[in-house]
Structures are given as C-alpha cells and as structure tokens.
Chain A
Amino acid sequence: MTVVDARGQRCPLPIIALARQIGAVPIGATITVEADDPAARPDIQAWCRMRGHDYVGENRAADGTPAYTVRRSH
C-alpha cells in the first residue's frame, strides 16, 4: 500500500503530493494520504471528484493523524 506522509503540510500541498503519486500506483490500487491540515479532508474528496478517482474513506494512522484513502480508477 502506498502512503503519502503530508504531516505538517498546509493545503494544497497534500493534494499536490497525492497528484504526484497517483500515477505510481496501478489502476484499481489505493493510495493513502496522512495529513493533519483540516482542509485536507474536504480537499482530497474534492480532488477525487475533479480527477475522477474514488474516495474510499478516512481512517487514522498509528499516531492518530487522519489518513485518507483514494483508489486510482483510470
């Protein structure tokens, strides 16, 4: 599983990191962004909508940081 560590990064840096990495995972595979900026929650979902990928959901990393999972769909 590919994980992007975006701790300490303010938006839009977490979605820029996600956009850079999405091409590196196979179609149908998931990628998880760990981000503590509160704007990452709406923005990762908006990015999925705008880019046509699937937003899988939100979890927490071991240290409690929100972790958002996206499935590459094309």
Chain B
Amino acid sequence: VPAFLDAASGAPLHPAARAALTAALDEGWADPDRLYTAGRRARLLLDAARAAVAEGLGARPDEIFFAANGTQALHAAVLGTLAGNRGELFVHSAVEHSAVLHAARSAGTAVPVGVDALGRVDAAAFAAAAAAPGVAGAGLQAANHEVGTRQPVEVVAERLGRVPLVVDLSQTLGHAPVPDGWSVAAADARMWGGPTLGVLSVRTGVRWRSPYPEDERERGRIPGVPSVPVIVAAAAALRAVLAERDALAARQRALVDRIRRVVAAIPDVEVVGDPIDRLPHIVTFSCLYADGESLLRALDRRGFAVSSGSSCTSSTLEPSHVLVAMGALTSGNVRVSLHTATTGAEVDDFLAALPEVVAEVRAELGAAGL
C-alpha cells in the first residue's frame, strides 16, 4: 500500500475542507469589505470562519488575522513583536522553525537558548535569557516540527514578566491542546488538513506593530484581501479535526509507539525526540551509515513519502539545525508524520519495508557490517 507519511510538511486536504471550499467558491468569492449583497455574504462566511479558528486557538475572533501561509504568519508574529517593543534582542529556542530564526535575524538580534538531547529548552534558562536588558520578545514553539518534543510554554510564560511570548502552534493546533500564556501565536492550516493559509493571533493589549506598509485589511495587521473560500475551508477542516482530536491522537500515539518500537530494533538506528511528552503524530529517527536522500528515494520507490533533516536533502546542504542542537545524528534521518486518514496497515507496510531499505542503502555505501 503506498502511503503518504509526511503530514508535517502539509497534510492532504481534509474532506470537510474540500466540501467547504467548493461551496465557498460559489458563496464567498466577493470582497468581504464591500457593502453589496455578495460582499455581505462573504463577510458572514468570513466572520463565522474566524470565530471557529479563534475557538480552536483559545482566542477572541478580533484577535485572529489571516496570512497567506504559515511562514508569513510566523514572520509577522516575530517582526511585529520586534517592531512593537523596545529592544532589539529576540530570544528563541535553538530548535524553532527556520522562519522564526530568519525573521529574528532580519529585524533584530537572535539569541538562541540551547536544548537537551530530547530537544527541549530548560524553562528557567529560557526565562533567564529573556530577562536580559534589550529583549523585545521571546519565541518558543508549542512542539517541535521535526522531532515532536513539546516545549514548556506555560511554565516559561509564567516566568516571563513583561516580555511578550511568541508561540509557534504550527504542528500543535488540531493535534494537541494549545498551551496558555502566549502573547502572539502563529499557525498553519496545511498542518491540520486545510488549504494553504497562515493564522496570526495577537492578544488584545499586546504590543505588536505591523512590519508592513499601511493597509486597512485584517485590522491593519496583514495587508491585502483575504481569500474567504480558503479561510472557510481551513476553518471547516479545523472544526472536523478538533471534534475527533483526542480519539485521533490516541490512535496516532499507538501507531507512533509501534514505529518507535520496530525502528529501535533495527541495528544502529536511533529514535530522536521525547518518547512521551510529544506530539501524537510525528516520529523521527536517524540511521547510522546511511544517507537521508538515498533512504527517501528508496522509500519513495516503494510508495512511502517521508521527509528528512539530513544535509543531503536540504537546498543549503546544511544539516537540520534542530538535530544539531540536540546532538543527534544528522545523517540517515527520516521523519514520519501521520494524518487523519493514516491506517495501521500503511504503518505496518512501511515498517515491513524499512529494514530492507536501510540495509540496501548501507550496502550501496559499502557500510554493511561496520
């Protein structure tokens, strides 16, 4: 059975999103800020979708702003925080998404806080770094996108004081409970089965200033007319996944536990990330004496789509900064991530194929028996 096991790069479109998108293309195509009938119809759809997304994040509808995609939402979260607060330092965990690192470096000085071997920051060390003079904001993901380890967001938030906390919810929203305590948040609809859409949330009263030229859309936070059909579809997918989140998470957790068990039994393969306090749908491992690109291609030939943090699979030829920060093996890395429709049979077939694939790649490199 061919299987798509790379949901953390973007899940296949949820059936609820597809149905909502089709309907909203007919009903919600007009500019929602216009006063004629078609515009008012689009406005009603947009308001309802915004309310659904707000509920999912635990925010108010007027704290939700839509961006083109998840990267843009992360950029806006970091850039607006730096622009709205005194100081030029942005403290972040060493394992944040590259969009956070790049935004922080482009508008200020990025100050990384290291992680342990499981990929987790120490809450006290993070809070201490954020308490330094000149810190405009701090960024901490709810959970890591490559290895699934959850971060101590709520503990950090309690210790931060006046410094606004930017939380990346990209892999968390729709999959696990959203932590409290954030000032600014960003999410990505592709990760819960929606179409390409970013979500920015800024809590009322938080100092955040738009890094963009002036524009009246999205209450001045994100410029340009939002795509109502895309937003309606993303909200429909979010409602659907949240309705079954805990049951789905339990099923995915069992599948990931099965993967962790079988993979760890392959010689010289290390499972990376926290075994317990983690996202339910992501699991990562590294195979000694194998290269990520060959593993990906060999798995793809057998019908399995996965991703890798190995340097040979990145355009920059640098290994994943997440794996490096954890002290994990970067070569031979494979990330498996499950979506709502992933079956136990797909996982079993993947696990049946994997030992042979690893052995094949090692043999090609002349590393068999090392």
Which residues of A are in contact with B by a Cβ distance under 8 Å? Answer: 10-13, 15-16, 19-20, 37-39, 41-43, 45-47, 49-50
Contacts and interface: CB of A to CB of B under 8 A. Distances in A.
Q: Secondary structure of the A side of the interface?
A: helix
A38 B320 CA distance: 11
A46 B328 contact: yes
B310 A11 contact: yes
A38 B319 contact: yes
B367 to A, nearest CB: 5
Interface string B26-38: 0000000000000
Contacts of A46: 286, 327-330
A37 to B, nearest CB: 7
Interface stretch (B200-208, B211-219, B288-296): B288-296
Interface of B: 268, 270, 286, 288-291, 310-312, 317-319, 323-324, 327-332, 365-367, 370
Contacts, number: 67
Nearest to B291: A12
A39 B370 contact: no
B330 A42 contact: yes
Contacts of A49: 327
Nearest to B312: A10
Given A12-B289, A46-B286, 12 more contacts: A11-B291, A11-B310, A11-B331, A15-B331, A37-B311, A38-B311, A38-B317, A38-B319, A39-B318, A39-B319, A39-B330, A43-B331
Nearest to B287: A12
B333 to A, nearest CB: 10
B311 A39 contact: yes
B368 to A, nearest CB: 11
A38 B290 contact: no
A39 B366 CA distance: 19
B367 A19 contact: yes
Contact of B311 (A10, A47, A50): A10
Contacts of A15: 288-289, 331
A41 B325 CA distance: 12
Nearest to B366: A16
A16 B366 CA distance: 9
Contact of A16 (B317, B329, B370): B370
